[in-house]
Amino acid sequence: MDITTIVGIVAGLVVIVISILIDGDIGSFINAPGVMIVFGGILSATLVKFPMKEMISSMKIGFEVAIQNSKNDPQYIYEKALEMSGLVRKGGLLALENVKIDNELFQRGIGMCTDGHNLEVIRATIDREVLMSIQQQEMGETLWRGIGDMAPAWGMIGTLVGLVQMLANLDDPAAIGPAMAIAMLTTFYGAVIANLVAIPLADKLGIKTEYDRMTHELIVESILQIQQNQSPAAMGEILSAYLPTASKGGGASKDDEA
Amino acid sequence: MDITTIVGIVAGLVVIVISILIDGDIGSFINAPGVMIVFGGILSATLVKFPMKEMISSMKIGFEVAIQNSKNDPQYIYEKALEMSGLVRKGGLLALENVKIDNELFQRGIGMCTDGHNLEVIRATIDREVLMSIQQQEMGETLWRGIGDMAPAWGMIGTLVGLVQMLANLDDPAAIGPAMAIAMLTTFYGAVIANLVAIPLADKLGIKTEYDRMTHELIVESILQIQQNQSPAAMGEILSAYLPTASKGGGASKDDEA
Amino acid sequence: MDITTIVGIVAGLVVIVISILIDGDIGSFINAPGVMIVFGGILSATLVKFPMKEMISSMKIGFEVAIQNSKNDPQYIYEKALEMSGLVRKGGLLALENVKIDNELFQRGIGMCTDGHNLEVIRATIDREVLMSIQQQEMGETLWRGIGDMAPAWGMIGTLVGLVQMLANLDDPAAIGPAMAIAMLTTFYGAVIANLVAIPLADKLGIKTEYDRMTHELIVESILQIQQNQSPAAMGEILSAYLPTASKGGGASKDDEA
Amino acid sequence: MDITTIVGIVAGLVVIVISILIDGDIGSFINAPGVMIVFGGILSATLVKFPMKEMISSMKIGFEVAIQNSKNDPQYIYEKALEMSGLVRKGGLLALENVKIDNELFQRGIGMCTDGHNLEVIRATIDREVLMSIQQQEMGETLWRGIGDMAPAWGMIGTLVGLVQMLANLDDPAAIGPAMAIAMLTTFYGAVIANLVAIPLADKLGIKTEYDRMTHELIVESILQIQQNQSPAAMGEILSAYLPTASKGGGASKDDEA
Amino acid sequence: MDITTIVGIVAGLVVIVISILIDGDIGSFINAPGVMIVFGGILSATLVKFPMKEMISSMKIGFEVAIQNSKNDPQYIYEKALEMSGLVRKGGLLALENVKIDNELFQRGIGMCTDGHNLEVIRATIDREVLMSIQQQEMGETLWRGIGDMAPAWGMIGTLVGLVQMLANLDDPAAIGPAMAIAMLTTFYGAVIANLVAIPLADKLGIKTEYDRMTHELIVESILQIQQNQSPAAMGEILSAYLPTASKGGGASKDDEA
């Protein structure tokens, strides 16, 4: 799921660089004071907006989302749940003791299940874990959305600084063009940060949060069904409602025989 | 319903091309690097926003909506339901066994009905099918809406690249005009993509989703009424509430005699 | 209620024309290709957005709202209801048989009432009728709101076409001014369409829909009270809550004696 | 509460005039056609949006809010209610017959109370009165908010008219500056109308409506408590929840002894 | 939590000043009439929007939030509650009489608890106190958000004043540049006020309000659990749900043994 994030950002930068190189050189697009005012301004305003601690953890969440794959694959959980349901039918809940699940949360829930905890306790534990990671992702979304809102504004502030300086010193007409080119660079930086990085990243964090919320429901429902010794067939029908659209094809066509 | 989509987009392009040809030639409106930065930028940002799988399926949904007619005609379902209601009154539910319905979902629901499934199972099956197609359309709407939001921004990024290059090389005054013309082309591309294609397409997907949701309710209600052996007259009155405005004229005027 | 719509649009056009004539002639504000791209573009995008059938009926609704007066005058219905309440007290429901009501919906409801239909059936019939006209008005509002959103964008597209053409042919400095004037005309057209016609019309359709919804409630409540043989005094108090602010003065001051 | 409205608008105008006078004369900021197109355009579009009757009454409401003080002082009502509660404890409800209350609504409610009306009737009467004035204020807010939305657009339309005329007649270079100055005046007018008058006035109407809604609840609760012969101490505690923040200091510190 | 506010604003100003000094001097960025029109305009419009009293108290809240640390540390309350729970288990509620709590609200609630008040009274008192401070913070957020909305608009009004004056007096071409530089300064001021101070401050007030609402719930829940003589272990589990994400690590890992 998440390789696209990096591919997208890199592809966007490549597209911009190529379109620059066609008609000129990359050098006229790099300007240290411009970079400083846009990045410095965004960082300063973010410091005013968020408490320091949350800023750092949200930055981290943003990077993790960008690089790592989601730990939650609903299709995997769906299939594992059906498999375990079969085991429980044959050997009771204890048959699950040695099952290895490639999902920490699900593993832990099943572990509590075989330890004889009741569903309320298991649900509360899973809820708390999931809520924690969802809250962090929502904070990450808010932070990146905020950067996406501020980047164009700080780009404009940088351009205004450049324009005022250029206009105040109109002595040398030959200098007007390059000075204005530099002034416009900050607007360019702000637009790229907002539209290639910050807003798309915030959107992806939002989609991923929704996705994790669905998977969470799927895990809790799976454990409930396993505890109640549900048949794999009935379970497949119930759980398939929690699968996202793309992976639902197989489950849905089975309904005809239901 | 959907021919208008293509007619609209083609008509819009024709209008733009004609208004260009009146005062000049189309050549000055085609610029390969400009096309690259706008399309490349939108595509890159969309890759960051959405998981790859969902991007492709949403693109497909967008094209299908553009070309195909809706599979759901509420007026047809309404009339078919009244017809079947008459058949059931005469020959019982079994009279429906050989009825051909030109709507896959309705056919399947009636099939399950004659097979003796109860309404809960039928509703669950139809709900799942419809939810699936509605989720896909909503994702398609979100994707096109996102493109509509990003297109003007990427048009502006392209224009900024062009302006910075032009301003940095002001040596030849004769080149300023054409360079600025090219710089503005990306803003033009972005505006056309957003206002002729992406936003209108997203709006139509939204209207169609609402429409399919209504039809879905109509199908479920029809099956319920048929199962309960409802009289065609009473059924017509109940079902007509699910018809969209335009096709309602006839149904409403019948109410006086009710 | 609706003469103001036409008066407003005409007044706005007069104001614009006068302010043009003070400093120049109207001729420089008329440009056929500009009109074509703005109107053609809006029409094309609207075709993509809405199904053809709904577009035409919504256009019609928009014009009707602009020219006709509302068929629903709550004050008239309020007074008529009190009058009929008195008749019913004296001569029973049958006394209403020859009453002429200048509101089709109310007349029909009272007719069903004297025919002995129960309130559920009457309410369902009125609800359906009203829902139909309200749905059409809401679609009309959506359509005009959409035009209000797109008009400035298509004005800008036209201006971009003009600017690119002007900039690509900077040979004759004397032609720059007039060419830019023409380029800006489409932005002007778009702004006038949006701010004088489309957005205000959408707003008025919204207000009128709210108004009709209130009147609908008033009619249903009136019929309910008449059927229950309510006294005119108590009825006046109950119904006055459904009157809009402006016409409420008289009803409210009566409450002291209540 | 409301002197600030006039003070604010006057202060804003003074600030603008002074900043104009520092570098030039006020004459170049007055332009009759510009005033006409901005005010005429806003008025025309408002005519399309709102029915005439509502426009005039909403204008009036706007002026009243600007000049008059609120008739509702929650602190006064709170204190008066406690005072009356003491009187009722000593002399029964009849002891309130000669109490003078400096709030029409409260006076009337207490009057109905001593006349022996039950709370439902009193609440209905007060509700209707308050709803009426709140509806008018909400309409006033909508009208001023609409003006705030349209003013910048009509300012831009005026500027476009001026620019097109200027560009179409570029013969005399010396005239460009003044012509463009005049063209920009309408944008200036629109910005001042929106940001000094219309939007702030709409915001204040919104705050005042919220405030009156709270006071209304306070009056109804006060009458309920007085009718139930509640002790002043308990009543003070219950009613203090309806006081706005600023006047709550005293009431809150008393809670310790409660 | 709140040192970041000042650090952020100072850092933002430093970044702007440095980027100005790299290419010129700070003098050309200071303009008294420009400062006057932007600050005067914002202040005037704010006076129209808000009642005077609320303006001053909201300003104060804004400064307090900027300088002071939050009085509510959920982690501290959580630990203190567990500690007190242990004391109550050993010595009953009276053991809490001499406990010193570094949180006024919690101290007062525990005081009322040992005084034998029931939970309803304690909750009402705390609710009222918290509601008061939350209402003030919300008003502060609204005020700063409003300033953030108006600052760019007033910056533009100032720029329009400057541009009109410059354009009306184009006699001296050498003066155009500096005059336009000065005109653009107000736009610059407005952008900095909005994006470095007002909007980020409003956002932080919003986050802090949410935070205080959570802490409030934690305090009320803690007192409830202490009154019910809950065991520290069970209490830790219940209360940990009220802790914000960052401080939750320890509490969550304990759940495994639960």
ipTM for the whole complex:
0.81
- The minimum CA-CA distance between A237 and chain E, rounded to whole Å, is 31
- Rounded mean pLDDT of chain B? 82
Give the model's pLDDT for residue B246. Answer: 46
Residue E147 structure tokens: 């300033």
| Cα-Cα end-to-end distance for chain A | 32
A111, closest residue in chain E (CA to CA)? E256
Q: What is the pTM of this model?
A: 0.85
Q: Please check the confidence at residue C234 and state whether its pLDDT lies above 90.
A: no
- Asked if C254 contacts C229 with a C-beta cutoff of 8 angstroms, the reply is no
Out of A237-246, B82-91, D213-222, E40-49, least confident range: A237-246
Confidence band, pLDDT 50/70/90 cuts, at residue E245: low
pLDDT digits over B17-37, tens only? 998 898 778 888 999 889 999
D55, closest residue in chain C (CA to CA)? C4
Chain C residues inside the 8 Å CB shell of B241: 128
Confidence band, pLDDT 50/70/90 cuts, at residue D249: very low
CA D198 to chain centre: 11
d(CA B36, CA A16): 9
Q: Do B8 and C135 touch (CB under 8 A)?
A: no
Chains that touch B (3 or more CB pairs under 8 A): A, C
Confidence band, pLDDT 50/70/90 cuts, at residue E179: confident
Query: Of chain B residues 8-37, which have a CB less than 8 A from chain C?
Result: 8-9, 11-12, 15-16, 18-20, 22-24, 28-29
Instruction: Report the share of chain E in percent with pLDDT over 70.
Output: 90
Query: Of chain A residues 58-77, which have a CB less than 8 A from chain E?
Result: none
Q: Please check the confidence at residue D65 and state whether its pLDDT lies above 90.
A: no
Query: Of chain C residues 238-257, which have a CB less than 8 A from chain D?
Result: 240-241, 244-246, 248, 252, 255-256
**Residue A165 sits at the chain E interface (C-beta within 8 Å):** yes
Please tell me which of the candidates D125, D132, D165 has its beta carbon nearest to residue C248.
D132
Helices (H), D68-118: 74-91, 104-114
Tell which phi-psi region holds residue A42, choosing left (phi > 0), alpha (psi between -120 and 50) or beta: alpha
Residue B229 structure tokens: 């052996």
**Residue A155 sits at the chain E interface (C-beta within 8 Å):** no
Give backbone dihedrals phi and psi of A91, rounded to 5 degrees, phi first: -115, 10
E35, closest residue in chain D (CA to CA)? D19
**Residue D39 sits at the chain E interface (C-beta within 8 Å):** no
Give the model's pLDDT for residue A125. Answer: 77
Confidence band, pLDDT 50/70/90 cuts, at residue C36: very high
Instruction: Report the share of chain B in percent with pLDDT over 90.
Output: 24
Give the model's pLDDT for residue D246. Answer: 46
d(CA C212, CA C71): 9
B176, closest residue in chain C (CA to CA)? C167
Q: Which of A31, A48, A56, A134 to mutate to test the interface with E (most CBs of E within 10 A)?
A: A48
**Total residue length of chain B:** 258
pLDDT digits over D80-136, tens only? 888 888 888 888 888 888 788 888 888 888 888 888 777 777 887 777 777 777 877
Give the model's pLDDT for residue A2. Answer: 66
**Residue D151 sits at the chain E interface (C-beta within 8 Å):** no
Q: How far is CA C190 from CA C150, C159, E206, in A?
A: 8, 10, 38
Angle at C150 between CA C148 and CA C156, to 5 degrees: 120
**Type and span of the H or E element at B178:** helix B173-192
pLDDT digits over E24-52, tens only? 788 889 998 899 999 999 999 998 888 77
d(CA C207, CA C222): 23
Task: Name the more confident of C158 and E100.
Answer: C158
Give the model's pLDDT for residue A62. Answer: 72
d(CA C256, CA A233): 70
Chain C residues inside the 8 Å CB shell of B28: 164-165, 168
Tokens 């953030």 -> residue: E148
- Rounded mean pLDDT of chain E? 82
Q: Please check the confidence at residue D237 and state whether its pLDDT lies above 80.
A: no
- Asked if D142 contacts C206 with a C-beta cutoff of 8 angstroms, the reply is no
Task: Name the more confident of E43 and D212.
Answer: E43
Confidence band, pLDDT 50/70/90 cuts, at residue B71: low
Q: How far is CA C44 from CA B192, B196, C102, D96, in A?
A: 12, 7, 41, 71
Give the model's pLDDT for residue B245. Answer: 54
d(CA C218, CA C223): 9
Helices (H), chain E: 3-23, 32-49, 52-67, 74-91, 104-114, 119-168, 173-192, 199-227, 232-240, 249-253
Chains that touch D (3 or more CB pairs under 8 A): C, E
**Residue E99 sits at the chain A interface (C-beta within 8 Å):** no
Q: Which of D182, D245, D248, D255 to mutate to test the interface with E (most CBs of E within 10 A)?
A: D245
State the CB neighbour count (10 A cutoff) for residue D231: 12
Residue type present at position D92: G
Q: Please check the confidence at residue E155 and state whether its pLDDT lies above 70.
A: yes
d(CA A46, CA A153): 13
Task: Name the more confident of B130 and D49.
Answer: D49
Angle at D131 between CA D128 and CA D137, to 5 degrees: 145
d(CA B63, CA B40): 19
Residues of chain A with pLDDT under 70: 1-2, 63, 65-67, 69-71, 244-258
pLDDT digits over B60-70, tens only? 777 676 667 66
Q: Please check the confidence at residue C163 and state whether its pLDDT lies above 80.
A: yes
Give the model's pLDDT for residue D254. Answer: 36
Q: Please check the confidence at residue E257 and state whether its pLDDT lies above 70.
A: no
Chain B residues inside the 8 Å CB shell of A195: 41, 45, 150, 153-154, 157
Confidence band, pLDDT 50/70/90 cuts, at residue E70: low
